[in-house]
Structure 1
């Protein structure tokens, strides 16, 4: 069986989930990890896949992975503000690229990535793993079925109380990729956008900023026109939540946990005028594994990824507009 040969840029904590997904995929194989921190790549491999020590190369730089002649695809889990330059280097080196959310902090950079991907005929996808869980397929099925009627309102809520060990997420301003907006905000906006059949018209938001100018909490509204709207709440100061609720003219649907653990069944609650409230259990699944398998198969079979760069562009545009609204304290139009 043909396999995609992978490299990883950075020793980020998310490798705890993605590294095994790459290693265990029947369609992929891990070749190398690189980090700019001395010995960090080797330590990452030792921590998350000790059985592969000696079989996977580790480097104290990113470029050695990007330029590696045997690597087909690269995963980029670097800090929010650091994605664009290595992504473009990898793409221009004919590598397929999976970029952890947010794909970039600027929509113009998404356009540069799209241009480079088209020119070099490679696959590029933003890493929203949750859309590969079967519960998301069921959510789409319910929306498409008309059980909810016309979707009119969505409320998305993502939060967790940040601990001192994670303060590196809030040690710089929003403009430089710090804070909740660029960390968990991409999920809040992406889940909302999947519920509507058009792009938003305007947004407004307000935040609680720390001394670095990073948002600890941000709340806001998105106007989709035709009396369709959404509200989002993201926070590093609130109890853990990763959920959203969809309200239509005939019913509502609650997704209780978006970041679903592989050992837990997912639960959706569907409420309609006709049938009342019913809970649905969704089979257990590892959305990280499903994401990697999907991207591998797109590369092998030359098919289009489930998440397009057009989708990534609009998610970035909305996050940019929210950032602008926080600064101006006013509605921002697209």
Structure 2
């Protein structure tokens, strides 16, 4: 049996780490949590046995082979470079960096260290999302002409100090969750639309609380998306073709146990739903990362693809300004 990959976590109290990724590392037979650190308070009790004093101690731990990094966006570059210098692989929370230039520096460091750099966008590991994208590619609803997506939620008053509100920490709704809404269009049509229109509602701190985007591609395809920290919670993906549409309602981007049905609305046949066996996309991501570290499976998404997404997000922000 292949030895589990020893994982170290920087920022073990972050929400995504506590609620999703640390449980997935624990559940996977391919990984083991070796060390964890948090600067915002103690490591949660469930994983306190692996607590070490600081982030560098996680990286320096002899049994840590790879780092999971869910820190604020402005910290991704420095800690990825530190991990690469120590010969540790990195699974970095999305967005990969605060800018394309930072991501290129991270890529260069990992290339020099001979380590894997992977962006922790878990959606492509959700069975329902994958099946919906395959149905679209296979022509179930004809040629795809339009994608409409939303990912909105409310950060309430209790989250006033959330780093997502801070421009210095790389905050803003578009950078935080834009990949979820734009990912399907980029997967189908590439990351170079010929037309970009965007509007923003700014938070008092100056970051975008809400961004609305309209993109067009050379063959007339259109993608519309809305991301927000102040709207009511919504996750939706609608893939429109020449003969109908494929719709994911509820947990469209994050998947999980309730992501069971794909709704198909046909212009030429009876509307119907397709059942999908749900699975934890975070566990799928962790298993795939471990396999890539061991060299038994290639990580499915390149760093170049992550950089292209960051460049697109930058173009959208420029358009909005």
- Tell me if TM exceeds 0.5: yes
The Cα of 1:302 is off from its aligned counterpart by 4.5
> Which of 276, 281, 299 is the aligned partner of 2:270?
276
Q: For residues 9-47 of structure 1, what are the alpha-carbon distances to aligned partners after superposition, in whole Å with 9 as ceiling and x for unaligned?
A: 01211112111111121011001012234xx2xx3330x
The Cα of 1:198 is off from its aligned counterpart by 5.9
- For structure 2, the residue ranges without an aligned partner over 5 or more in a row are none
* Residue of structure 1 in register with 2:9 after alignment: 8
Q: Is the 8 A contact 1:22 1:289 kept in 2?
A: yes
203-212 or 193-202: bigger deviation: 193-202
Q: For residues 93-146 of structure 1, what are the alpha-carbon distances to aligned partners after superposition, in whole Å with 9 as ceiling and x for unaligned?
A: 211111111111111122222222222222211111121011122122202211
> Which of 205, 212, 216 is the aligned partner of 1:212?
205
Mapped partners of 1:197, 1:323: distance in 2:
18
SS of match in other structure, 2:23? helix
Structure 1 residue 95 and structure 2 residue 95: aligned?
A: no
* Residue of structure 2 in register with 1:62 after alignment: 55
The Cα of 1:177 is off from its aligned counterpart by 1.4
* Residue of structure 2 in register with 1:330 after alignment: none
For residues 191-270 of structure 1, what are the structure 2 equivalents within 5 Å?
A: 191-197=184-190, 199-256=192-249, 257-260=251-254, 262-270=256-264
* Residue of structure 2 in register with 1:309 after alignment: 303
The Cα of 1:190 is off from its aligned counterpart by 1.9
- Give the aligned length: 316
Q: Is the 8 A contact 2:37 2:43 kept in 1?
A: no
Q: Is the 8 A contact 2:151 2:227 kept in 1?
A: yes
Q: Is the 8 A contact 1:171 1:212 kept in 2?
A: yes
* Residue of structure 1 in register with 2:284 after alignment: 290
Q: For residues 50-84 of structure 1, what are the alpha-carbon distances to aligned partners after superposition, in whole Å with 9 as ceiling and x for unaligned?
A: xx543x2x123211112222211100000122211
Report the aligned-residue RMSD.
1.9
Mapped partners of 1:242, 1:249: distance in 2:
24
SS of match in other structure, 2:297? coil
SS of match in other structure, 1:94? coil
SS of match in other structure, 2:44? helix
116-125 or 22-31: bigger deviation: 116-125
* Residue of structure 1 in register with 2:69 after alignment: 76
Q: Is the 8 A contact 2:91 2:118 kept in 1?
A: yes
The Cα of 1:191 is off from its aligned counterpart by 3.2
> Which of 122, 139, 164 is the aligned partner of 1:129?
122
Structure 1 residue 152 and structure 2 residue 155: aligned?
A: no
Structure 1 residue 184 and structure 2 residue 177: aligned?
A: yes
Taking structure 1 as the reference length, what is the TM-score of the superposition? 0.88
71-80 or 234-243: bigger deviation: 234-243
SS of match in other structure, 2:316? helix
Mapped partners of 2:166, 2:82: distance in 1:
25
SS of match in other structure, 1:194? helix
Q: Is the 8 A contact 2:191 2:312 kept in 1?
A: no
Q: Is the 8 A contact 1:3 1:300 kept in 2?
A: no
The Cα of 1:157 is off from its aligned counterpart by 0.5
Q: Is the 8 A contact 1:255 1:269 kept in 2?
A: yes
TM-aligned CA distance change 1:265 to 1:321, over 3 Å: closer
263-272 or 155-164: bigger deviation: 263-272
